[in-house]
Amino acid sequence: MSTLYWLNDDLRLQDNPALNAAAQDDALTILFCLDERRLKTDRFSNSQMGEHRWGFLQESLQDLSIGLAKLGQPLNILAGNPQLIVTSLLDSGRFHRIVRSRQHASDKTAIWQSLRLAYPNILFEEYDSTTLYLQDKVQFTSRFPATFSEFRRALDTVAFRPSSTRPASLPAPTSIKLDIPMVAVAGNSRHPRGGETAGAQHLDKYFSTDAASSYKDTRNQFFGERYATGFSPWLALGCVSPVQIFELLRLYESQRGANESTGWILFELMWREFFRWHAGYYQAALFEFSGISGQRPLTSFYPERFFKWRDGKTPWPIVNACMIELKQTGLLSNRGRQIAASCLVNELGLDWRCGAGYFEEQLIDYDACSNWGNWQY
């Protein structure tokens, strides 16, 4: 019998508790499902994955495939409906266990729960590979904290999960034969480049400079060299983990000194953490028009207004500059996102979901929990 390891936003070998757990078996199949529905357009004419995100994902998968090959494991990339793909594999009778990193967005949790009910004789295991905290440490007595500040106070004395090393070896691969196409991926020579290798290089380069010591002063800039940490694209796909960043930050502070700016980097990691557990608590409400508040906004969808916002043709030059930057690069500063979002909702009176959906399409650092949570916060 064999273990099926289902990759999601954990495309790395280092500090990957789910991979380490999956490796504790005689045989192993490593799977990534390319959900073809992500490439189709929604009601607002947004695709769930645009050119920039797709290119970064391809590079990340290619890099992981190279790393796994060195350990004797192929990366099986299958295209289609993830639930149907996993169902086909479990129906083969080859697997007694399925492992993945814990997911928080409602679409991912719903599929997992459905599969668990359908296969009661198979072990389903999730591990906290994408967060700072372990799930059993993030327990609230009655409700999820209403604010980020309350969340931080509630967990102030709780330790982060320990980091783990990359596996020295992996079990033998399980051969699988399905009538599902394997997907070949190729690098696209973009900047920044996707993958664990490029992510680790970026972390090393960033912490080799003094940029962390002035981060609080530069973080609200729109453009420039190292005005932001630039960690988010690799964090979004799990090419690096928040625990890795935290440990490098503490090492930097021990060597160069801690200050308000280095503290602010941890502050930003905690915001990401907040939105992860926030999404896990609110589930599908996060994506509904009325959002987590349950109150329907006084906005609607006007296609002409939306297309002008999307294409950078509004009456406001700063908004246009932000939207053009996003469309051309797949990148946008935190301040730029706030300005663009405020314009869409408050000036143009548009349904916030069309803006959140467009960010989902374009941003190479798209993270469902942070994106949809921030649009409502």
The answer to whether 30 and 73 have CB atoms below 8 angstroms apart is yes
CB atoms inside a 10 Å sphere around CB 41:
11
CA dist 344 and 250 (Å) reads: 39
pLDDT in tens, 156-198: 999 999 999 999 999 999 977 766 656 666 655 566 899 999 9
CB atoms inside a 10 Å sphere around CB 185:
20
Per-residue pLDDT of the chain (377 residues; tens, 9 = 90+): 899 999 999 999 999 999 999 999 999 999 999 998 777 777 666 778 888 999 999 999 999 999 999 999 999 999 999 999 999 999 999 999 999 999 999 999 999 999 999 999 999 999 999 999 999 999 887 789 989 999 999 999 999 999 999 999 999 999 777 666 566 666 555 668 999 999 999 999 999 999 999 999 988 877 666 778 999 999 999 999 999 999 999 999 999 999 999 999 999 999 999 999 999 999 998 888 887 777 777 778 899 999 999 999 999 999 999 999 999 999 999 999 999 999 999 999 999 999 999 999 999 999 999 999 999 97
Paired tokens of 186: 């190729």
> Where is 64: in which H helix or E strand?
helix 51-69
Residues facing residue 29 across a β-bridge: 4
Amino acid (one-letter) located at 174: T
pLDDT of residue 218: 86
**CB proximity list for 156: less than 8 A, separation 6 or greater:** none
Q: How many CA atoms lie within 13 A of 242 on its CB side?
A: 22
Nearest to 135 by CA among 11, 18, 284, 293: 18
State the pTM of this model.
0.93
Binding-site sequence positions for FAD: 215, 365-367
CA dist 132 and 283 (Å) reads: 20
Sign of CA dihedral 241, 85, 194, 307: negative
| Largest distance between two CA atoms of the chain | 62
Q: Is the peptide bond before 192 cis (omega within 30 degrees of 0)?
A: yes
pLDDT of residue 109: 97
List of domains in the chain? 2-130 (3.40.50.620), 196-284 (1.25.40.80), 288-374 (1.10.579.10)
pLDDT of residue 178: 66
The answer to whether 26 and 172 have CB atoms below 8 angstroms apart is yes
The answer to whether 78 and 85 have CB atoms below 8 angstroms apart is yes
Q: In whole angstroms, what separates CA 173 from the centre of its chain?
A: 27
Nearest to 275 by CA among 374, 157, 160, 363: 374
pLDDT of residue 151: 95
Binding-site sequence positions: 215, 365-367
